[in-house]
Amino acid sequence: MSGVNKVILIGRLGADPELRSTPSGSQVCSLSIATSETWVKDGKREEKTEWHRVSFWGKQAEIAHKYLKKGRMVYIEGKLQTRSWQDPQGQKRFSTDIMGNNLQFIESASNGGSRDSMDNMAAMNEPRGPDSYYQNQNSNHYENQPPTNFQGNSPSMDEDIPF
């Protein structure tokens, strides 16, 4: 039996995405995502924030770079990948990053993240066809916004919401 390597994150971008090209011409977009958890200890609210490095490749990299901005909330699926290199002092270093393979927008860029989360979840799961990527401003979606699911699937009302 083989193992499972899957990461699911819901968090906010800590900076604008960075797009670059590899020597072979492939596009790669790097994101920094913050996830936070809160709890109450001794009557005081406490919070811990974790930072995650995520990379998207190809068309997803271009879409992430075009539509995502610092502070935007996103849902990301991917897998962990560890890499190693030698630093200038000759020490071997390691880094574990997330290779993204699914990106969904949770908040519209047009509203600065102020929309109620239930509206966002409903909007993410509306069925869409290829002609409905750009809706008018009177609908639940905003002009110049791509679909929320970039795996090549159209979200449907039957999909499980991961939160």
pLDDT value of position 107: 73
The pLDDT tens digits of the residues spanning 8-66 come to: 999 999 999 999 999 999 999 999 999 999 999 999 999 999 999 999 999 999 999 99
pLDDT value of position 1: 82
pLDDT value of position 108: 64
Mean pLDDT of 110-135: 38
pLDDT value of position 136: 31
Q: Where are the domains of the chain?
A: 7-38+46-116
Q: Do 66 and 10 form a contact (C-beta atoms < 8 A)?
A: no
CA-nearest of 9, 16, 14, 100 to 58 is 100
User: Is the model more confident about 34 or about 108?
Assistant: 34
Question: pTM, whole model, 2 decimals?
Answer: 0.63
Cα–Cα distance for residue pair 16/31, rounded to 1 Å: 7
7-38+46-116: what CATH class?
mainly beta
pLDDT of 137 higher than 50 = no
CA distances from 59 to 50, 63, 100, 154 (A): 27, 6, 12, 16
Cα–Cα distance for residue pair 22/104, rounded to 1 Å: 25
